[in-house]
């Protein structure tokens, strides 16, 4: 068993959801929320997060792939599940899922299966507006018209995806493209749920349409709203050893850190096998006894060294905060992302997916 623990604060999760709900409902009381729980709910645990949100006022869950949806159904999740990036056919019907359509051949196969089963299937159609990833890009309105004529297929939603929501000008261009498709679809006599916005896009009232798809914002990070959000994940471990080393001692592989003074060196049982990136070597900080301690030397597969010289009271078995806060100090996913030259999404999914999770319920906080 690894020595990394992730505490998931469900009270913070609820706070963030209510904040999102207040924002979108103030613009349009009918706007719906689709919590994104793909990638194991960004490392927070998809089943537990979905169980929590199923008690809330949501439209559906969003997952990346069929297997993620199956895991939710097998855990007893009854709500609508939208599968974003998968061509699965038979399993869509067996598990009562809602597929996202991104080309015509995909929906033809689903239509044939629906006819064979003598049932109908609700789908969401993804259109290309500037992401360049998945979505119908060639004559989207004509393709949507053809899909509408397929037997046993019901178009429940039309969606797209914002590729650079922090860029107001480009986002406005994507929104305008989506609005053109919306006008065309409504002219066909189809009135589905339109949705394009992710967490960052919630800052634009004109991007909300009929539903929003928050992901990172649910879990406490979104630079447009950070002051209103609470990070849900705290990642911690325990000190496995403390060593007194003289000045001139090399630390870890490659001797990238040499002590400049007589030093107190802590060893924590966390490494890149736990999702603690090697890029954090000689860059990151952790928190011990309410004080920050720097990571020194190369991050190893299973172990990382920290300089405790300025925290002489530190002891073996002390709690070490890798992500989170203690006293007046904190380490955020933004901090780790900056040190590792990545993004907070990767920080959360990497640490959260490998750690043993503990869920803190509202009555426990």
- By annotation, the residues acting in catalysis are 38, 253
Coil, helix or strand at residue 8? strand
Integer Cα distance of 216 and 360 in angstroms: 19
Tokens of 76: 């007893």
Closest by Cα among 249, 361, 353 to 309: 249
Q: Within 13 Å and on the Cβ side, how many CA atoms surround 40?
A: 14
Q: Specify the residue for token string 């998931």.
A: 8
Residue 342: left if φ>0, alpha if ψ -120 to 50, beta else—which one? beta
Integer Cα distance of 334 and 344 in angstroms: 6
Binding-site sequence positions for substrate? 133, 301
Concatenating the DSSP letter of every residue in 99-146 gives EEE-SHHHHHHHHHHHHHHT--EEEEEEB-SS--SSSB-SSHHHHHHH
Concatenating the DSSP letter of every residue in 208-267 gives -TTEE--SGGGGT--TTTGGG----EEEEEE--EEEEE-TT-EESGGG-EE-SSSEEEEE
Q: Within 13 Å and on the Cβ side, how many CA atoms surround 125?
A: 29
Those residues with Cβ within 8 angstroms of residue 225's Cβ, 6 or more apart along the chain or in another chain: 19, 23, 202, 203, 217
Residue 97 near residue 108, CB atoms below 8 Å? no
């Amino acid at each position: 068993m690894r020595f990394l623990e992730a505490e998931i604060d469900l009270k913070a999760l609820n706070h963030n959801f209510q904040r999102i709900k207040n924002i979108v409902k103030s613009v349009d009381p009918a706007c719906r929320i689709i919590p994104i729980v793909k990638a194991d709910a960004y490392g927070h645990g998809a089943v537990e997060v979905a169980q929590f949100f199923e008690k809330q006022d949501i439209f559906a869950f969003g997952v990346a792939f069929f297997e993620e949806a199956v895991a939710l159904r097998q855990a007893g999740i009854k709500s609508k599940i939208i599968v974003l990036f998968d061509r699965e056919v038979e399993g869509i019907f067996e598990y009562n899922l809602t597929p996202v359509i991104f080309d015509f051949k995909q929906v033809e196969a689903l239509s044939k299966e629906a006819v064979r089963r003598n049932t109908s299937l609700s789908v969401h159609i993804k259109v290309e507006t500037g992401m360049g990833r998945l979505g119908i890009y060639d004559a989207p309105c004509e393709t949507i018209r053809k899909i509408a004529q397929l037997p046993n297929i019901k178009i429940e939603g039309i969606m797209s995806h914002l590729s650079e929501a922090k860029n107001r000008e480009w986002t406005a261009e994507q929104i305008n493209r989506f609005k053109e498709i919306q006008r065309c679809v409504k002219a066909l006599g189809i009135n589905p749920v339109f949705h394009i916005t992710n967490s960052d896009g919630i800052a634009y009232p004109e991007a909300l349409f009929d539903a929003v798809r928050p992901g990172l914002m649910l879990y406490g990070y979104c630079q447009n709203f950070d002051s209103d959000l609470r990070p849900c994940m705290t990642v911690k471990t325990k000190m496995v050893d403390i060593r007194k080393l003289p000045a001139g001692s090399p630390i870890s592989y490659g001797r990238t850190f040499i002590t400049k003074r007589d030093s107190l060196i802590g060893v924590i049982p966390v490494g890149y096998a736990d999702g603690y990136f090697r890029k954090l070597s000689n860059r990151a900080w952790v928190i011990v006894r309410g004080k920050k301690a720097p990571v020194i030397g190369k991050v190893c597969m299973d172990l990382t060294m920290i300089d405790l010289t300025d925290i002489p009271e530190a002891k073996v078995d002390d709690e070490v905060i890798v992500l989170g806060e203690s006293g007046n100090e904190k380490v955020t996913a933004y901090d780790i992302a900056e040190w590792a030259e990545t993004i907070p999404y990767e920080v959360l999914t990497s640490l959260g997916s490998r750690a043993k999770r503990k869920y803190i319920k509202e009555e426990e906080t």
